[in-house]
């Protein structure tokens, strides 16, 4: 007779959490991003300056006790603008990630489950979109959509779904042949049931990892667009358009705090989110414990 | 081999046509009528004159007909005229910008390959040493810092603080052309552009070297008394570079993305700057022409990478 273990062994989710908790890079990422989020979300409650307040007595002043990160050319507080820029960058990143995750999931799942022709057509389209470097499409789409928060969200989400749809498709192609899906089809399940009852729960790990990494990616895309003057238009603050100010030589040379702080915030946020995403991917990978 | 190359060529041509359709559709979906860009707003025109002009230009035809008409012209080299730059033909505008971009990206690629392979090999051979650790940290920083930020920091350190390099442009304005002047302007942007590629190549070379160094033929070479330098430079490196070759082909997209930012920070008169300016001024014919030519270049480079890989690695199943 087989010996019984006294306690039930932990399930896959618990083991994934355990692996994540032992990943030092991922914990570093959490340790950076959580305080950053708290600062960004709570700053209007405790910081004296608003992002668009003009302090005429302190234009282009360096970091001081009143203005921690200094002020910009019209006397706006850089600390407040970095935090406000973080709000806008994160809003754009999260909104575009949600939209592109929905598009990517639906396209990938329909492509896997709806039959050969749909599959061939959508996947050739995905190939096509993925040929060109993303920045090029970003520019073409931006030239059509214009500047502002929602056009930027639209542009980034339209650009980002193809990779996800490929991953979802390959997962569901495998799932389609499994017995419980066959049984469900045999009992007359429609496409909607297959998508949301079987497809979604079985690809949730892909979606979580994609969403995390895509937030970092979207922050970079937004910053790049705004840096070129095509994303978030001033006077709204964003990390990218604050860096755009440094394209003037005077700002670059004489007032480095005006672009170093948003640049630093950008790199820190992207790095931290990427560490978390990599950690999640390793944590969800069932092969991780074999090594 | 020939059959494989031909088939890849056909797929590439198909991709290019599909790409042109996609871009044509996207730009025709833009708000605003192309006729508005064509006419002089200071001369009043009646609706009847406008519709005459529209049918003269073929804009009243269905989209597929317009696309075929456009494609026929594009194939003979007529990509239309810029709206914003005194009606210059798009093709000559784009062609005049290709050489600077190729120069910039080519030098960056050479720098990235040299730096990436050397640091990658050193890291693999001296695994877990101080050198390995510092190269790896540098590679991580290179991969995660966006090109516009590294361009600004590079500009700040080397052009503004140290004053080693000019802060922009390709040649000193007004001065006579000289190779030295060109190189002086080229080094900094090319080096900054090469960072991301060098970091990727370094990581791949390191991983691939570590794998190869454990192979039997490396042990055999050592056992028969080959000098350690030659074991690494010849027996190991040549095999380790195979996967790196495909990587170099696929980083071309990354390099184009980076070049757009580097060119606009350094005011380098290349394709990237042309495209960014065209997007800023909504100069749709130029956007379309330069996107198509960039797309064609990417497709050709991918094709060449695939074929080269099949040539240098006979283990690839051809067919």
Write the ipTM: 0.79
Which tens digits make up the pLDDT trace of A6-21?
A: 677 777 778 878 888 7
Which tens digits make up the pLDDT trace of B122-174?
A: 998 888 888 888 888 888 888 778 888 888 888 888 877 777 777 777 777 66
User: Which are the contacts of A218, defined by CB distance < 8 A and separation ≥ 6?
Assistant: A92, A93, A96, A97, A156, A160
For the residues B3-23, what does the mean pLDDT come to? 83
Tell me if B275 sits within 8 A of B287, measured CB to CB. yes
Q: Does B139 touch chain A (CB under 8 A)?
A: no
pLDDT at B145: 80
| Selected residue of B13, B136, B149 to mutate for chain A interface (largest A Cβ count, 10 A) | B149
A124 chain-B contacts, CB cut-off 8 A: 18
Contact B260 A135 (CB under 8 A): yes
Which tens digits make up the pLDDT trace of A19-51?
A: 887 878 888 888 888 888 888 888 787 777 777
Which tens digits make up the pLDDT trace of B62-82?
A: 778 888 888 888 778 777 777
Nearest CA in chain B to A261: B149
pLDDT at B5: 78
Q: Which of A88-92, A279-283, A284-288, B17-21 has the least mean pLDDT?
A: A284-288
Residues in B 180-219 with any Cβ partner in A closer than 8 A: none
Q: Does B149 touch chain A (CB under 8 A)?
A: yes
Q: What percent of chain B has pLDDT over 90?
A: 5
Mean pLDDT, chain B, rounded, equals 81
Confidence of residue A290 (pLDDT cuts 50, 70, 90): low
pLDDT at B319: 43
Whole-model pTM?
0.83
Q: For residues B280 and B85, what is the distance between their CA atoms, to the nearest angstrom? A: 13
Contact A139 B153 (CB under 8 A): no
Question: Which residue among B23, B149, B265 places its CB closest to the CB of A247?
Answer: B265
For the residues A159-186, what does the mean pLDDT come to? 88
Asked, as a colleague might, if the bond just before B267 is cis with ω within 30 of 0, I would say no
Sequence spans of domains, chain A = 78-282
Q: Does A267 touch chain B (CB under 8 A)?
A: yes
Question: Which residue among B155, B257, B282 places its CB closest to the CB of A133?
Answer: B257
Question: Which residue among A128, A223, A246 places its CB closest to the CB of B146?
Answer: A223
Tell me if B151 sits within 8 A of B266, measured CB to CB. yes
CB atoms < 10 A from the CB of B57, how many? 14
Q: For residues B17 and B255, what is the distance between their CA atoms, to the nearest angstrom? A: 24
Contact B294 A274 (CB under 8 A): no
Q: Does B24 touch chain A (CB under 8 A)?
A: no
A231 chain-B contacts, CB cut-off 8 A: none
Which tens digits make up the pLDDT trace of A125-139?
A: 888 877 777 888 888
CATH of A78-282, one of 3.40.50.300, 3.30.43.10, 3.90.1170.10, 1.10.3720.10: 1.10.3720.10
Q: For residues A7 and A269, what is the distance between their CA atoms, to the nearest angstrom? A: 40
Which tens digits make up the pLDDT trace of B212-241?
A: 888 888 888 888 888 888 888 888 888 888
pLDDT at A288 over 60: no
Which tens digits make up the pLDDT trace of B33-60?
A: 666 666 666 777 777 777 777 777 777 7
Contact B295 A131 (CB under 8 A): yes
For residue B278, which of B29, B21, B37, B40 has the smallest C-alpha distance? B37
Q: Which residue has the tokens 């022409």?
A: B289
Own/partner pairs, A13-16, CB within 8 angstroms, 24+ separation: A15/A289, A16/A283, A16/A284
Confidence of residue B315 (pLDDT cuts 50, 70, 90): low
Domains of chain B by range and CATH?
A: 2-75 (no CATH), 96-312 (1.10.3720.10)
For residue A132, which of B3, B163, B260 has the smallest C-alpha distance? B260
Residues in B 60-79 with any Cβ partner in A closer than 8 A: none
Mean pLDDT, chain A, rounded, equals 83
Residues comprising chain B, all counted: 319
Question: Which residue among B19, B23, B152 places its CB closest to the CB of A243?
Answer: B152
| Selected residue of A89, A123, A125, A135 to mutate for chain B interface (largest B Cβ count, 10 A) | A135
Tell me if A174 sits within 8 A of B318, measured CB to CB. no
């Amino acid at each position: 007779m087989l010996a019984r273990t006294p306690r039930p062994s932990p399930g896959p989710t618990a083991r994934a959490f355990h692996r994540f908790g032992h990943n030092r890079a991922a914990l570093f990422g959490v340790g950076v991003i959580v305080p950053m989020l708290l600062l960004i979300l709570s700053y209007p409650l405790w910081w004296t300056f608003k992002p668009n307040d003009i302090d005429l007595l302190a234009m282009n002043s360096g970091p001081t006790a009143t203005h921690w990160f200094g002020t910009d050319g019209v006397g706006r507080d850089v600390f407040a603008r970095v935090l406000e820029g973080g709000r806008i960058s994160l809003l754009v990143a999260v909104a575009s990630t949600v939209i592109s995750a929905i598009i990517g999931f639906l396209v990938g799942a329909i492509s896997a489950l709806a039959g050969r022709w749909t599959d061939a057509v959508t996947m050739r389209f995905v190939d096509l979109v993925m040929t060109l470097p993303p920045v090029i499409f970003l520019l073409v789409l931006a030239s059509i959509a214009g500047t502002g928060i929602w056009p930027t969200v639209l542009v980034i989400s339209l650009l980002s779904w193809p990779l996800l749809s490929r991953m979802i498709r390959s997962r569901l192609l495998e799932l389609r042949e499994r017995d419980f899906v066959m049984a469900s089809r045999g009992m007359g399940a429609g496409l909607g049931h297959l998508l949301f009852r079987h497809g979604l729960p079985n690809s949730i790990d892909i979606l979580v990892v994609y969403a995390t990494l895509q937030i970092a990616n979207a922050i970079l895309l937004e910053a790049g667009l705004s840096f070129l003057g095509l994303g978030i238009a001033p006077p709204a603050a964003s990390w990218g358009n604050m860096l755009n100010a440094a394209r003037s030589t005077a700002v670059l040379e004489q007032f480095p705090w005006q672009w170093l702080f948003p640049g630093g915030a950008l790199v820190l946020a992207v790095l931290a989110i990427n560490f978390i995403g990599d950690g999640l991917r390793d944590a969800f990978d069932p092969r991780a414990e074999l090594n | 081999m020939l059959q494989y190359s031909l088939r890849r060529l056909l797929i590439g041509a198909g991709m290019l046509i599909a790409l042109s359709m996609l871009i044509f559709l996207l730009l025709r979906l833009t708000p605003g009528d192309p006729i508005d860009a064509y006419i002089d707003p200071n001369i009043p025109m009646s609706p009847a004159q406008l519709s005459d002009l529209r049918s003269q230009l073929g804009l009243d035809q269905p989209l597929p007909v317009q696309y075929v008409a456009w494609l026929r012209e594009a194939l003979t080299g007529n990509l239309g005229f810029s709206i914003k730059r005194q009606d210059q033909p798009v093709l000559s505008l784009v062609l005049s910008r290709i050489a600077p971009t190729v120069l910039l990206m080519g030098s960056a690629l050479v720098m990235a390959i040299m730096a990436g392979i050397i640091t990658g090999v050193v890291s693999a051979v001296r695994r877990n040493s101080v050198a390995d650790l510092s190269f790896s940290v540098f590679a991580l920083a290179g991969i995660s810092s966006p090109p516009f930020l590294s361009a600004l920091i590079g500009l700040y350190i080397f052009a503004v603080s140290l004053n080693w390099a000019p802060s922009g442009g390709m040649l000193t304005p007004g001065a006579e052309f000289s190779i030295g002047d060109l190189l002086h302007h080229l080094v900094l942007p090319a080096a900054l552009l090469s960072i991301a590629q060098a970091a990727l190549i370094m990581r791949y070379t390191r991983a691939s070297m570590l794998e190869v160094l454990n192979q039997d033929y490396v042990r055999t070479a050592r056992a028969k008394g080959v000098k350690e330098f030659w074991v690494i430079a010849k027996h190991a490196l040549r095999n380790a570079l195979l996967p790196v070759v495909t990587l170099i082909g696929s980083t071309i997209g990354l390099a184009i993305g980076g070049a757009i930012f580097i060119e606009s920070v350094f005011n380098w008169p290349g394709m990237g700057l042309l495209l960014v300016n065209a997007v800023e001024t909504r100069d749709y014919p130029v956007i379309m022409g330069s996107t198509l030519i960039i797309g064609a270049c990417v497709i050709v480079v991918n094709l060449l990478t695939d074929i080269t890989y099949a040539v240098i690695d006979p283990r690839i199943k051809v067919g």
